[in-house]
Structure 1
Amino acid sequence: MKDYQGKNITVIGLGKTGLSCVDFLTAKKANVRVIDTRKIPAGAEQLDKSIPLHTGSLNQQWLLESDMIVISPGLSVKTAEIQTALSAGVEVVGDIELFCREAAKPVIAITGSNGKSTVTALVTEMGKAAGLSVGMGGNIGIPALSLLNENHDLYVLELSSFQLETTYSLKATAATVLNVTEDHMNRYADLEEYRQAKLNIYHHCQTAVINGEDPLTKEDDKQSAQQQVSFAENNADYWLKTENGKKYLMAKDELILACDEIKLTGRHNHMNALAAIALAQAAGIKNSGILTALRTFPGLAHRFQLAHMANGVRWVNDSKATNVGSTVAALTGLHIEGKLHLLLGGDGKGADFSELEKLINKPEIFCYCFGQDGAHLAKLSSQSQLFNTMEQAIETLRPTLKPGDMVLLSPACASLDQFASFEKRGEEFTRLAKLSVAQ
C-alpha cells in the first residue's frame, strides 16, 4: 500500500472508472483534481462539488502541479501534454496500477485481442462454483478499485492494452495473453508496439498461460513469469483430444470434459475454455468448480450468441467482433448446412482486412458490407454487396434465406460510426432477426 495523504493528484477522465479513482484517492486524503477533455463528461453530476473539475481540454498547469496523474485508458501517454508532465518528473499511472498496489489477494489477469471477456467471465464462474468470493472487473463490469470494497478471496481482471500501458505493479498468480491480432492501429505505431503493451501482463506473474498456436503471445526475455503453460488444439499442456469423432478438453493426460458437455460452441470457444481451465488450475481453483462452470456457463451476450432461430435459419450475433482477428476466429472451423450470410462493416480502426479474404472467398459465403469501411470489405469477395446500413443489408438478404442457412453478424469493425456501442449494434441485429417471423 502507498501513502497518498496530502499528495496533489490529478485524475484524467470521469465515467465509472474516473469516479472510482476519485473515491479511492479522497478516502486516502489526497488532494484531488479532475480533468476531462469532454465539455460535458459522463459522471460529472456525481462528482463532489468540492473537487475542482476542468473540462474541454487538458489543463497543462494542473498536470505540472501534480505529484501524480491517474490517466484514463482512453487517453494515450503519447499525448503532448502528458509527455510534458512526464518530462517534468510527474508520475503517470492508471487505475489498475492503483489497484495492484492495494490488492492483498491473488489476481488472475487476462488480456488478448479476442476472447478476453468470455475467459474472464468463465474463470470467475469457476471460482464461484468452487465456493470462492470472486471479484471480477477491470475492462469488464466493475472498475478494479471498486472491487477493493469487498472482502474477496480472488480477483479476476480483464485488462486492455491501454490499461497495461500504465501498470507496473501487477504480480498475477496466473496471467494470459490469449492472442494478438491487429487492433487499435490508430493508437499504436505497429503490431509489435501493441503486442508489447499486452505482454506487460506477464511481469512478475507466477504462471504465464500462452497460446501455443500464436507465437506473439509468448513472453519476451524481459518478462519474468516463474513458470509457463500452454493451450492449443495439439502439442500443448491444455489441448483438445479427438476420439471417435468427439472432442475432449484435456489437461496433459487428464480428461477434463467432453466438448459436447459444455455450453460454449465453436472452436474458438474450445480454445477459450482451455485457457480458462489453465488459469483456474494455476490459481488453485478446485476441479469441481471448473467442471460445474464449464457445464453451465452460457457465454456472453453479443459474442457468437444465437440471437434467433426461425424456419431452419440461425441468426448469430457476434457484434463483439470489433476487429479482424475476432471475425477470423468466428469463421475458422465454422460448419453450416446451407449458406452463410455474413454481415461485415463499421469503423475498421485502420486495420488491414486482407486476412479475411481467404476465409470468405468460398461458394457458400455471401457478404453484406455496410458502414464506414464497408467499401473496403466489399472488395475482398466477388460475392459481396455494399449497403449504407445493416438494416438495408438484412432487408436484401432476408428473402433469399433457406433452411440450413446462417446469418452471422461478425463485423470485424468497431460500431461507433453508426451505433452507440457494439451492444446497441447487436441489439439492433437481434431486433431485425426477429422480424423474420412476421415476414
Structure 2
Amino acid sequence: MHYQNKNITVIGLGKTGLSVVDFLLTKQANVRVIDTRANPTGTDKLAANVPLHTGSLNQQWLLESDIIVISPGLAVKTPEIQTALSAGVEVIGDIELFCREANKPIIAITGSNGKSTVTSLVAEMAKASGLKTGMGGNIGIPALSLLNDDYDIYVLELSSFQLETTYSLKAISATVLNVTEDHMDRYVDLEDYRQAKLRIYENCQTAVINSEDPLTMAESIKNAVSFGEDNGDYWLKTEADGSQLLMAHDSPFLPCSEARLTGRHNQMNMLAAIALAQGAGIKNTGILTALREFGGLAHRFQLAHEANGVSWINDSKATNVGSTVAALNGLQVAGKLYLLLGGDGKGADFSELAALINESHIYCYCFGRDGKQLAELSAQSQLFDTMEQAIDAIRPRLEVGDMVLLSPACASLDQFSSFEQRGEIFTHLAKCS
C-alpha cells in the first residue's frame, strides 16, 4: 500500500495512536490527529508539524480524509464516522495497517476470556523453539511498533473492537477462545459482538475452535481443529488415579502436573495454545518448554498474599461475567470464600453468576457503579461504595482456610485508572492484613 501524500486522519492518541502517526510519517502521508478528550495523553510525544484537534470529532477533517485510522475505543457506528463512510472515506484500524505490511506469519487470538494468557503462552512457545517472536496488539506494545524489528513470527491478541476495522488479516492459525457477554454497551446484542470476533477466522490457514462453545464456530471455516475437555482434537484425559493429561489428538502431550498453570480454565487455555502453536509449525520441544515454565499473568487469578491460613487472590483482569464464571468453576476453598464483585458492568447481564455464588460458603462484597445489581444476586451479599470499604468489612471475619477473591466481573474505570491499578490496590490492602 502507498500512503505518500494521502490525507490521513488518525483518531485517538496514546501509545497506539502515536504508533500509527509514526508509521504514516515514515510513509510520507499528510497526517492529522483527532482526540475527543480535551487533554489526551501523548500530546507531548506528537511531532510538532502534525495538526491536532481535541475535545470533539472534527467532521470537516474527517470528510477531507482519504483514510481514517480509528481508535479501537471509538465505534464505527458513531454518526460522524458514518457520515465519512457515506462520503466514500476508507475507515480502518491500526491492525489493518499492520496486516498490510507484515510479511511473516501471524498467530491471532481473540475471545471474551483467556486471550492474554493464551497470547503470552503461545509467544513463549515460539521463543522457546528458537523463533524471534513479536507479541503485541491488544497486549504489550502496539502492533505497528513490531514492524521496527525483524521478527520470524508475530503473536497478536486482538479485541473485537480491533477486528471490526481489520480486513487483510491472513493468520497462519487463529482462534476465538470463547464468546460470553461483554461490551454490551457497544454492541446491539451478543450476536453482533460474536460476529466481530469471528472476523479473525477470515483467510486463516488453521482455525482453532472451542468444542464446548458453539458461538466460536462459523460456517465459513475451512480448516479447523478443536479443543475441549472431553470432545476435541486437543483434549483433557483423566486417568483412573485422577491424574490428568493434555492430549494432542490421540497422543499424550504433557501431564498436567508438569505444567505451571493450574485450574480448569488454564487447562483449556493450554490446549488452545498447543493447537495454535502446532498449527503454526512451532516445534513441540518449544511448546513443552513453555508449558513447563510459564506461570501466568499478573492480575489473572494470581496469589497476591497468603497469611494466617488465608489466601488473597487477585483476579482483577476478570472484567466481564464470563471471566468470573471461569474463576469460580471448580474452585476449591477449604473455608469460606469472600468474593469481591463490582465496577462498570458495561451493560452485561449478571444473572449467570447467581447459580455459582448462591452457596452457603460464599459471601459477596459488592462495590462500584454496578455493585447494587450484583448484590441483588445473592442473599449473602453486602454493598459498599468502594473496594477498600468492602475489604475492611471482610478482614475481621477471616479464619484459617478462607479465601478472599477479587474477581469483579466488571471493568474498573468507574473508580480506577485500569484493572492493573485495581489489582495493585487489592494486593496492597491484602498485605496490610
In 2, the alpha carbon distance for the partners of 1:380 and 1:57 equals 39
1:199 corresponds in structure 2 to: 198
Q: Secondary structure at the match of 2:254?
A: strand
CA shift at 1:336, angstroms?
Answer: 1.5
Matched AA of 2:139: I
Partner of 1:231: 227
Query: Residue type of the partner of 1:19?
Result: L
Q: Which residue in 1 is equivalent to 2:432?
A: 435
Residue 118 of structure 1 corresponds to: 117
Tell me what 2:328 maps to: 331
Secondary structure, counterpart of 2:148 in structure 1 = coil
The runs of at least 4 consecutive aligned structure 1 residues that moved more than 4 Å come to none
> How far apart in 2 are the matches of 1:435 and 1:26?
49
In 2, are the aligned partners of 1:341 and 1:366 still within 8 Å (CA)? yes
Cα separation, 2, equivalents of 1:419 and 1:71: 25
SS at match of 2:71: coil
Paired with 1:264 and 1:315, the residues of 2 have a C-alpha distance of 18
Structure 2 residue aligned with 1:79: 78
Structure 2 Cα separation of the partners of residues 79 and 57 of structure 1:
12
Q: How does 1:29-428 map to 2 (within 5 A)?
A: 29-219=28-218, 221=219, 223=220, 225-243=221-239, 244-428=241-425
The amino acid of 1:136's aligned partner reads M
SS of residue in 2 equivalent to 1:124: helix
Letter aligned with residue 165 of structure 1: E
Deviation by residue 1:15-74 (Cα, 9 ceiling, x = unmatched): 111111111111011111111111111111111111111111111111111111000000
How many residues get paired? 432
CA distance in 2, matches of 1:380, 1:432: 26
Unpaired segments of 5 or more residues in structure 1?
none
User: TM-score, length-normalised on structure 2?
Assistant: 0.99
More displaced, 332-341 or 194-203? 332-341
1:323 maps to a residue whose letter is: N
Aligned AA (1:171): K
Letter in 2 for 1:79: T
The aligned amino acid for 1:288 is: T
Which runs of 5 or more structure 2 residues have no equivalent in the other structure? none
**Which residue does 1:15 correspond to in 2?**
14
SS of 2:391's equivalent?
helix
**Helix, strand or coil: the match of 1:333?**
coil
TM-score of the superposed pair, with normalisation by structure 1: 0.97
Q: Aligned partners of 1:232 and 1:313: how far apart in 2?
A: 33
Mapped partners of 1:415, 1:245: distance in 2:
39
Structure 1 residue 333 displacement after superposition: 1.0
TM-superposed CA distance for 1:226, in Å, is: 3.8
Q: For 1:136, what is the secondary structure of its paired residue?
A: strand
Shift of 1:166: 0.2
Q: Say whether the 8 Å CA contact 1:204–1:226 is kept in structure 2.
A: no
Aligned equivalents of 2:177 and 2:319: distance in 1?
16
Inter-partner Cα distance in structure 1 for 2:256 and 2:100: 39
Letter of the 1:4 partner, please give it: Y
Local SS of the residue matching 1:394: helix
1:279 aligns to what SS in structure 2? helix
Secondary structure of 2:432 counterpart: helix
Q: What is the identity, as a one-letter code, of the residue corresponding to 2:244?
A: K
